[in-house]
Amino acid sequence: MQKRKLGQSSLEVSALGLGCMGMSYSYGPPKDKQEMISLIRAAVERGVTFFDTAEAYGPYFNEELVGEALAPFRGKVAIATKFGWKIDPKAERGLAGLDSRPEHIKEVAEASLKRLRVDAIDLFYQHRVDPDVSIEDVAGAVKDLIQQGKVKHFGLSEAAAQTIRRAHSVQPVSAVQSEYSLWWRRPEADVLPALEELGIGFVPYSPLGKGFLTGKIGEDSKFDSADFRSMLPRFAPRALKANQALIRLLDRIAERKQATPAQIALAWLLAQKPWIVPIPGTTQLSRLEENIGAISVELSPGDLREINDAASKIAVQGARYPEKLEQMSYR
């Protein structure tokens, strides 16, 4: 497995990470715990050294799962987790708003350390920017944790470029995690240029468009009520039908490259910048192996131009998130 450095930080990880959220949260009922532990360990065996979780996934179940699965590999893998939500089991999806108060950040860190079974959190992201707490105070709290040896690297998720700059001035940001793929390219406008300037790594989540870019979701696809895609405008039948144009593009390139649409979507991301590390999620070994195979897919400058030219003519239909959730991004 190739390695990549997240910006100018000392954090070097596998070129593809593994997003673990869907194993126990958001994509229908939680999967069998032992099967998911086996899958995470299979990823390590195949060279994956970067794993993504959060206290909010479950809540808590996902961190416990990842902690147990990776216990035998301490020092050989990097685990990223997140803070910033007010957890309430009675609230929808267990989340009752944002909370990035410094004292709360430190409480979350202590609890995450126990669930993950580690002495230090490799990468600690603010899950969403909290408008009620200055980003300087957030960065200062994480700086304290880094000085105490409880956290190694500071990250932000779905933050705006100016927020990233402000945080970075207090405590260097090692990585920013935001959605990025061929059907969500907003980070290109100002976030990616800022990261390049500041020497910060980028971790695209949902690099396969929450499954859509695999080509396995058609206009007639239905989603379980426990699957949060059932509430996303982009996964409504009309949008799914219109957005098949993107799949036809990926199919065309995939056939020429003897690859799959998912591999082309991931290879496109990997080709954008050497400090980009996508974290596709999966609950299936076959999909894990397919995703890892994207690393060996080479897209020439001509291939990339063809993809960009064709994609620029496709107007992706449907909002990414309901308005309330979207308002939490790029602050």
The 3-state secondary structure of 63-107, one letter per residue: HHHHHHHHHHHCCCCEEEEEECEEECCCCHHHEEEECCCHHHHHH
3-state secondary structure of 11: coil
CB 51 within 8 A of CB 26: no
d(C-alpha 87, C-alpha 318), whole Å: 29
What does DSSP assign to residue 27? B
Range 3-208+272-295: architecture per CATH: Alpha-Beta Barrel (3.20)
- Amino acid found at 257: K
The predicted model scores a pTM of 0.97
pLDDT tens digits for 164-204? 999 999 999 999 999 999 999 999 999 999 999 999 999 99
Query: Mean pLDDT over residues 277-286, rounded?
Result: 98
Tell me how far apart the terminal alpha carbons of the chain are, to the nearest angstrom. 35
Torsion sign across C-alpha atoms 183, 189, 191, 192: positive
Q: Are strands 50-52 and 95-98 parallel, antiparallel or unpaired?
A: unpaired
d(C-alpha 10, C-alpha 26), whole Å: 32
pLDDT of 28 over the 90 cut: no
Residue tagged active-site, from 27, 57, 180, 330: 57
What does DSSP assign to residue 209? G
pLDDT tens digits for 218-276? 999 999 988 999 999 999 999 999 999 999 999 999 999 999 999 999 999 999 999 99
pLDDT tens digits for 40-73? 999 999 999 999 999 999 999 999 999 999 999 9
Domains of the chain: which residue ranges? 3-208+272-295
Is 57 among the catalytic positions?
A: yes
CB 82 within 8 A of CB 74: no
